[in-house]
Amino acid sequence: MKNLAALLCGLVFGVGLAASGMTDTAKVLGFLDIAGDWVPDLAFVMGGAVLVTLLTFPLILKRTRPLFAEQFHVPTITLIDKRLIGGAAVFGIGWGIYGYCPGPALSALVYLQPNTFIFVGSMLAGILLAAKIRPAS
Amino acid sequence: MGDYLIPLTGGLLIGLSAAALLLTQGRIAGIAGILYGAISGQADNLWRWLFLAGLLIGPILYHSLSGAPMPAASNLSFAYAIAGGLLVGIGTRIGSGCTSGHGVCGIGRRSVRSLVATCTFMATGITTVFVIRHLLGGV
């Protein structure tokens, strides 16, 4: 059950990304282009997703444990430091350059477009590079 | 409003998936974090690979059942793909999260840290597009 649930969660997430237009770089860049011909669609994606998590997460976290695991693995760190801001800033620049964040980039691999493979390969290289030179303390 | 029903539905599905992952596995649906955990070979890793497999199956299912066409390939050159990918990878690892981890899940947990990260990457994303499209006259 635990494994089936993990697969289904990923599947629903992937359907959501494809339906919402997050796997379409033109739409994402249009959303970020507030000074141009603004595409507001993705505000509804973020709004819809956050609405659900805001309502459900507090109820779920009231449980003593998850359904199929021993305990919750939820970040406890509350630190707002240069590492958080700098990392998020760099991530946003990369997002604005091409139009993919990690989830949609992976989902879009199934469209078999060569540039997506280049993007994901570079993203993996970036992740491993950062983990090597700036490991989390 | 009708135009926004499909993106809204997509967003609700993403939120439901995040809620279901927390309820069943006790895990945060942050894709950058799940991907890093999977490739760095952490213990109890099967759920990560299964989630990532679902993430790939989902769009195939969506496009084949709904009949919605797959998005057109980006008209940006591979140099953009390399630069964008590298920065997204470096930034999400150092900043401990992406749109899903900080944005969807972190804000759902009412984490100020995640809210600050989300505002930061939204701001630099918007600024980057502004600079490329309107100051440099790029595509």
What distance in Å separates residue B69's CA from the closest CA in chain A? 10
pLDDT for B13 beyond 80: yes
Q: Which of B9, B31, B24 has the alpha carbon at shortest distance from B105?
A: B31
Reported as a single tens digit per residue, the pLDDT across B107-136 is: 999 999 999 999 999 999 999 999 999 998
**Residue B60: its pLDDT value, please?**
98
Task: Please list, in sequence order, all residues whose beta carbon lies within 8 angstroms of the beta carbon of residue B86, skipping any fewer than 6 positions away.
Answer: A94, A122, A123, A125, A126, A129
> B27 - beta bridge partners?
A73
- Select from A87, A123, A126, A93 the least CA-distant residue to A105: A123
Amino acid making up residue B75: N
Encoded amino acid at A110, one letter: V
Q: Decide if A106 contacts A23 (C-beta within 8 A).
A: no
Which one of B29, B84, B111 has the shortest CB-CB distance to A98?
B84
Interior/surface letters A58-90, b for 16+ CB within 10 angstroms, e for the rest: eebeeeeebebeeebeebeeeeeeeebbbbbbb
- The nearest CA of chain A is from the CA of B14 a distance in Å of 5
- Angstroms from B71 CA to nearest CA on chain A: 5
For residue B42, the 8-state DSSP code is: -
Q: Give the ipTM.
A: 0.95
Residue at B114: amino acid letter: S
Tally of CA atoms within 13 A in the half-sphere of A60 that contains its CB? 27
| Chain A residues in contact with B67 (beta carbon < 8 A) | none
Residue A16 has its nearest CB partner, among B17, B63, B70, at B17
B22 and A120 in contact by Cβ < 8 A?
no
* Interface with chain B: mutation pick from A1, A3, A9, A59, highest number of B CBs within 10 Å: A9
pLDDT band at residue B139 under the 50/70/90 scheme: low
Any bridge partners for residue B86, and if so which?
none
Q: Which residues, 6+ apart, have CB-to-CB distance to A60 below 8 Å? A: A66, B19, B22, B23
Q: A5 and A68 in contact (C-beta within 8 Å)?
A: yes
> Inter-axis angle of helices A41-60 and A25-32, to 10 degrees?
90
Cβ-Cβ pairs closer than 8 A, A with B, add up to 486
Radius of gyration in angstroms for the set of CA atoms belonging to chain A, rounded to a whole number? 17
pLDDT of residue B64: 97
Instruction: Report the gap between the CA of A137 and the closest CA in chain B (Å).
Output: 11
Give A128's pLDDT tier (boundaries 50, 70, 90): very high
Question: Around Cβ B72, how many Cβ atoms within 10 Å?
Answer: 11
- How is residue B134 written in tokens? 């309107």
- Residues A17, B82: C-beta atoms closer than 8 Å: no
The CA R_g of chain B, rounded to the nearest whole Å, is: 17
Residue B1 confidence (pLDDT) above 80: no
Do the Cβ atoms of B81 and A118 come within 8 Å? yes
Best residue in B121, B126, B127, B139 to probe A by mutation, most A CBs within 10 Å? B121
CA atoms within 13 A of residue B73's CA, in its CB half-sphere:
16
CB distance A98 to B81 below 8 Å: yes
| Percent of chain A topping pLDDT 90 | 91
Interface contact B4, partner A, CB < 8 A: yes
Chain B residues 66-125 with CB within 8 Å of chain A: 66, 68, 70-76, 78, 80-100, 102-113, 116-118, 120-125
Mean pLDDT of chain B: 95
- Tell me the per-residue pLDDT of A58-78, one tens digit each, with 9 for 90 and over: 999 999 999 999 999 999 999
Chain-chain contact of B25 with A65 (C-beta, under 8 angstroms): no
